[in-house]
Structure 1
């Protein structure tokens, strides 16, 4: 625009020089060029004012949005749920029990930048969980920066810093609601530019389902005030924190919060043999490293089991003795997903929506069987083009998820014990030696021969020893 203005001014200067030299034809061009220059100036001024007006209205609208949701901003009054577990224990699958619920606010691994190993950034981990429990995202960016300065910065950790939150694309309700607010801002700005005052609350914003590429085009980094407003207005918030490391840290978060009575912890455990097999298959570790990982894993699991036992014994009124703690086994979830979903939602005193049970039916069925059912539907001539397109999208999602090591769609009953077929007996014995206490306390039975390992009729669990 400025370049065009300079060009117009140059044309006028040339015309004036020609007029002084006596060219009658060029003299006639002068008024037209002057008019053109005037129109350019008016155009630029009008658009500058319009841009400033729209920016001011956009800021005003966002301010109104935050003010209208101020009733619980930075101080979550509803339920706060932490999914506490170890890597490769099925926490991603359990997290989807909540992620598929549109009424909840779920975050996938918000502690990622603090590193997997638990020997650093512990103070910042606790501080991050405190702010998350309050739906206060103002401090997360600085906490992530500090964590990244200490630990090895991976690509995903850099993305956490860039977005002000980790893995927003894996949090369905956040993605949809945040983009819906942005879309509502865009639509309302057009109305505001006509002089009308538009105010709305989050619950009034229509849900806008996103495509994979358009998820967060509206704003990057995500605005802490909007994140907090969306979080605090949800029925409950759920955070998967496999990097919290110690249950004692979560208990300290529990005791510091004003709404401690509404803070819950779901402690997900899994057979250590299955965890180590999954870690070994997803990472290129040597046998020596695997032994070290096994020792650290079971030491951490034992520490948390003993902490729970001591808290229950002392009855000191903390998170665990106040019945805000639930231990669940991944194998139970895999074998009876609907029953466990009902149990978990009952523990949280939340209704289990049909959208979650429908997802569970698909996610825990053999993907090949589901694909055959969808393929038969595609053969039908009665379905519309929209239905056909939706089925094709679902088939693609199932294919991607079922082939991914981190996917959540597979025959869960089979997947839970797949390690028996894939793991060498010598490696099983190594895990059983390092994790004897943990296995005994959690009801996992050791095997003493290759026959017992591969014989599927030989039980690997003793539910009679299940306890908190």
Structure 2
């Protein structure tokens, strides 16, 4: 019995060794060929590689560094052979989606001339344009601070860019019968902020009785649109939105460019950002002229600084954020409004600085989706800057739009009885009006608060200014137009 058991154990050991030896013989060639098979898989799945690249800033940056290293190695070795697949994976994705629907977000703040910039898009016949739809969110969630609302703004943007306007139901005022269809809870076009100046809403086919066709360039008269174009269901507007190759949304309530990174990474959105800047002193001058209309939102911006610093105590001292029935000191109306406007401008300048540094350090694929524009350049060189804007947006140039941009910056005067009403202005007066209307102390306060952002934007301080502005660093002066406009 013992001999049989011993032989059985020896047979089992021999069989086990034979199986292990067979497995080793089979696995070694597979392991040795694994690298080459992986390369073949990469060739067969380039779309997967591109998708992975666009979802990660780090991967895109690494791909660009690898591409630069390969280019240097090719120059040193004299090799001109291209790599098997592109190292800049996100660039390949950009080429793949360039023929798809384009989405543009105009990133600005209050009183920077963003209404004029947005109107250039509104006039283009290939553009579906929305004017500050996030106004509804801020009104509904007041007195929420600007920073806490950034995530909700981004989610709202995502829905609107996909022509899904049902998100507006969350923030539409319940007591406005004009914003809803009769006998239903469905929204109408009257629920949109500034709908009376929207070219799509105020022209056929949504408005058969409109006096002007959609392709005709010219400002929409709000009273004429309200008279000729009764509100239609919001679903009809969604259907029109899906017909346009370019969707543009302009707003002033997003304070952090970095919040948009998830949307910029989304290959299905094909999003680009146009950020508009203006001399902070001119912004402050314009804000003071419109102080009552901007007071409420300035408080929301200023609330972002309540957390543990001096502004929390100051807001409470002036009755903002105090408990009902609590005691608070109150300044006269005008100085109190000026204080809030000045404090909000300081927060805005800090946000500008973050955006500028973020854009400067971003990888190349993201910088290709970002355009920085100064208001002063736009109104001094309207046709040249318009061509630059249209190239970035993938839109065709139009002679009528060139003439419109030029005429809007060559108006008779700068001032207007309706500060939030778009009209032709004198561009030179608009650029330099702050010099005559701000006191020396006001200029000093703005320059002290906004100095870092002003340096990056090439806005000289008062004592550093010459007779003419210097071109921005890294850029060449644009050529003078034929009519002498620069």
Which category describes the TM-score, using the shorter chain as reference length?
0.5 to 0.7
Match in the other structure for 1:96: 119
CA contact (8 A) 1:82 1:266 kept: yes
Do structure 1's residue 348 and structure 2's residue 393 form an aligned pair?
yes
Structure 2 CA distance for partners of 1:354 and 1:173, relative to 1, 3 Å: farther
Structure 2 CA distance for partners of 1:313 and 1:360, relative to 1, 3 Å: closer
Work out the CA distance in 2 between the residues paired with 1:155 and 1:89: 33
Do structure 1's residue 136 and structure 2's residue 164 form an aligned pair?
yes
Q: How far apart are residue 254 of structure 1 and its match? A: 2.5
Structure 2 CA distance for partners of 1:98 and 1:310, relative to 1, 3 Å: closer
Match of 1:172 among 178, 185, 199: 199
TM-score by length of 2: 0.58
Gaps of 5+ in 2: 1-98, 140-144, 181-186, 215-219, 293-332, 477-486
- Listed one character per residue, the Cα deviations across residues 25-78 of structure 1 (whole Å, up to 9, x for unaligned) are xxxxxxxxxxxxxxxxxxxxxxxxxxxxxxxxxxxxxxxxxxxxxxxxxxx951
Work out the CA distance in 1 between the residues paired with 2:280 and 2:111: 10
Work out the CA distance in 1 between the residues paired with 2:372 and 2:276: 6
Match of 2:223 among 212, 229, 237: 212
Work out the CA distance in 1 between the residues paired with 2:177 and 2:345: 25
CA contact (8 A) 2:189 2:234 kept: no
Q: How far apart are residue 361 of structure 1 and its match? A: 2.9
Structure 2 CA distance for partners of 1:420 and 1:246, relative to 1, 3 Å: same
3-state SS of 1:267 partner: strand
Hey, which of these two has a bigger chunk of helix by percent?
Answer: 1
Pairing 1:39-438 to 2, within 5 Å after superposition: 77-115=100-138, 118-142=146-170, 144-145=171-172, 163-180=190-207, 212-213=223-224, 215=226, 220=231, 222-255=232-265, 257-260=266-269, 262-284=270-292, 286-287=334-335, 289-310=337-358, 312-315=360-363, 320-321=366-367, 323-367=368-412, 403-406=417-420, 407-438=422-453
Match in the other structure for 2:142: none
How many positions carry a matched residue from both structures? Answer: 321
3-state SS of 1:82 partner: strand
Structure 2 CA distance for partners of 1:300 and 1:411, relative to 1, 3 Å: closer
Gaps of 5+ in 1: 1-75, 184-202, 204-208, 369-398
Work out the CA distance in 2 between the residues paired with 1:341 and 1:430: 33
CA contact (8 A) 2:410 2:426 kept: yes
Work out the CA distance in 2 between the residues paired with 1:362 and 1:123: 38
CA contact (8 A) 1:367 1:411 kept: yes
Q: How far apart are residue 112 of structure 1 and its match? A: 0.9
TM-score by length of 1: 0.60
- Cα root mean square deviation, aligned: 3.8
Work out the CA distance in 2 between the residues paired with 1:210 and 1:444: 35
- Listed one character per residue, the Cα deviations across residues 281-314 of structure 1 (whole Å, up to 9, x for unaligned) are 1115644543443343333333343344345425
CA contact (8 A) 1:85 1:269 kept: yes
Q: How far apart are residue 277 of structure 1 and its match? A: 0.7
Structure 2 CA distance for partners of 1:174 and 1:236, relative to 1, 3 Å: farther
Q: Which moved more, 1:331-340 or 1:174-183?
A: 174-183
CA contact (8 A) 1:83 1:267 kept: yes
Work out the CA distance in 1 between the residues paired with 2:178 and 2:229: 20
CA contact (8 A) 1:272 1:435 kept: yes
Structure 2 CA distance for partners of 1:340 and 1:135, relative to 1, 3 Å: same
Work out the CA distance in 2 between the residues paired with 1:277 and 1:154: 34
Structure 2 CA distance for partners of 1:138 and 1:157, relative to 1, 3 Å: closer
CA contact (8 A) 1:137 1:228 kept: yes
Q: How far apart are residue 428 of structure 1 and its match? A: 0.4
Q: How far apart are residue 123 of structure 1 and its match? A: 3.2
Work out the CA distance in 1 between the residues paired with 2:138 and 2:454: 26
